[in-house]
């Protein structure tokens, strides 16, 4: 079995350089890289020979459990998590619960032992208690803390307040909050709760609509939006608790001949790519997705090192003004 020494000799490079290539450490020129790869082929140096000896620790993967992948918020979150994890030498394994919670926790249970360093749970339909029995570091994102699992959230309450204050400042008096499902342990509800509170506090009219689980699963909120618009003909301001809902509000307003922002002003939540792809673009509450990803990976690292971590991390939000309000 050829060794790294043989490989270095064949590639006519120092062992340290070859090791840097194999471990992807420090700067390596394309030429050096290719030298090593072609030498590997020539002497049949199989990755297996070194991968085992590569690092003392097991392969480091992080399980990311999400209810949707195509939902723009989760697509962006997965992207940032992959980037941050990769930077720290982890890879991301996707678990898409999409309603089938049992399957997911079983699969995680099945895979975790061998190479998963920690799990990030976004899905509300999976029990954090079950996951905790698997004895791997567990971080809950946008969910209330359970047991000793760490919870990372954005400041949903302030987000709801910023949306209300912005719409009221723009002159809106008859407002609607259109939210996704209302489930107990999802802090996302704080967004519309606070929005409604601040509107009332300012003497503005406000009504609230929540999606049912089926709408959330299909990510199709059109019917609820049509109902909200029909029941509130005088509505001049809408807060959608996700940019995905906001994009569908723009479609329904167009169908009814309601102009945004002239007739109805609209504020979304998340600040995902979609908010920049609609017409008008969506004024929205920016979620610190990169910062959440960073905090999540860092927390899993610390937990694996036995370090103390905060029980709950709440990251700040800001309002991004675009075309819709």
Shortest separation between residue 203's beta carbon and a copy of itself, angstroms: 33
Shortest separation between residue 205's beta carbon and a copy of itself, angstroms: 27
Count how many residues are written for the chain.
325
**Which is nearer to a copy of itself, 218 or 308 (by Cβ)?**
218
Paired with 99 in beta bridges are: none
CB-count burial class (<10 Å; 0-12, 13-18, 19+) for 165: middle
Residues within the interface to a copy of itself (CB under 8 A): 21-24, 28, 30, 33, 37, 40-41, 46-48, 51-52, 54, 59, 61, 68-70, 72, 75-76, 78-79, 82-83, 86, 91-96, 98, 102-103, 106-107, 109-115, 130, 133-135, 219, 244, 247-248, 250-251, 254-255, 272-274, 277-279, 281
Shortest separation between residue 168's beta carbon and a copy of itself, angstroms: 26
**Which is nearer to a copy of itself, 24 or 308 (by Cβ)?**
24
Query: Within 120-234, where are the H helices?
Result: 128-132, 156-169, 189-201, 213-218, 222-231
Shortest separation between residue 193's beta carbon and a copy of itself, angstroms: 27
- Residue 72 and residue 272 in contact, taking contact as beta carbons nearer than 8 Å: yes
The secondary structure of residue 281, as a DSSP letter, is P
Q: Locate tokens 């994890």: which residue? A: 85
- Residue 183 and residue 126 in contact, taking contact as beta carbons nearer than 8 Å: no
**Which is nearer to a copy of itself, 55 or 200 (by Cβ)?**
55
**Which is nearer to a copy of itself, 59 or 315 (by Cβ)?**
59
**CA dihedral of residues 32, 35, 38, 41 (deg, nearest 10):** -90
**Which is nearer to a copy of itself, 157 or 247 (by Cβ)?**
247
């Amino acid at each position: 079995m050829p060794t790294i020494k043989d490989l270095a000799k064949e590639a006519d490079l120092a062992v340290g350089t070859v090791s840097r290539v194999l471990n992807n450490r420090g700067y390596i020129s394309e030429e050096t890289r290719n030298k090593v790869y072609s030498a590997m082929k020539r002497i049949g140096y199989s990755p297996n020979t070194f991968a085992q000896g590569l690092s003392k620790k097991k392969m480091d993967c992080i399980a990311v459990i999400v209810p949707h992948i195509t939902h723009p918020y989760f697509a962006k979150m997965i992207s940032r998590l992959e980037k941050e994890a990769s930077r720290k030498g982890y890879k991301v394994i996707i678990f898409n619960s999409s309603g089938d919670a049992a399957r997911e926790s079983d699969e995680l249970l099945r895979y975790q032992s061998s190479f998963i360093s920690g799990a990030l749970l976004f899905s509300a339909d999976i029990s954090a208690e079950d996951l905790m029995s698997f004895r791997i570091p567990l971080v809950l994102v946008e969910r209330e803390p359970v047991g000793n699992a760490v919870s990372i959230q954005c400041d949903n309450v302030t987000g709801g307040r910023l949306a209300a204050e912005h719409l009221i400042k723009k002159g809106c008096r008859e407002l609607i909050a259109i939210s996704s499902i209302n489930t107990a342990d999802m802090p996302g509800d704080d967004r519309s709760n606070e929005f409604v509170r601040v509107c009332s506090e300012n003497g503005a009219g406000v009504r609230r609509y929540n999606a049912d689980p089926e709408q959330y699963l299909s990510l199709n909120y059109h019917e609820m939006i049509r109902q909200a618009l029909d029941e509130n003909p005088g509505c001049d301001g809408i807060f959608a608790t996700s940019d995905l809902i906001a994009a569908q509000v723009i479609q329904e307003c167009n169908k009814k001949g309601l102009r945004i922002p002239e007739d109805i002003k609209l504020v979304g939540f998340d600040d995902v790519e979609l908010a920049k792809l609609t017409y008008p673009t969506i004024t929205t509450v920016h979620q610190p997705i990169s910062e959440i990803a960073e905090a999540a990976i860092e927390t899993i690292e610390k937990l694996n090192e036995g370090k103390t971590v905060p029980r709950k991390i709440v990251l700040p939000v800001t309002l991004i003004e675009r075309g819709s309000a």
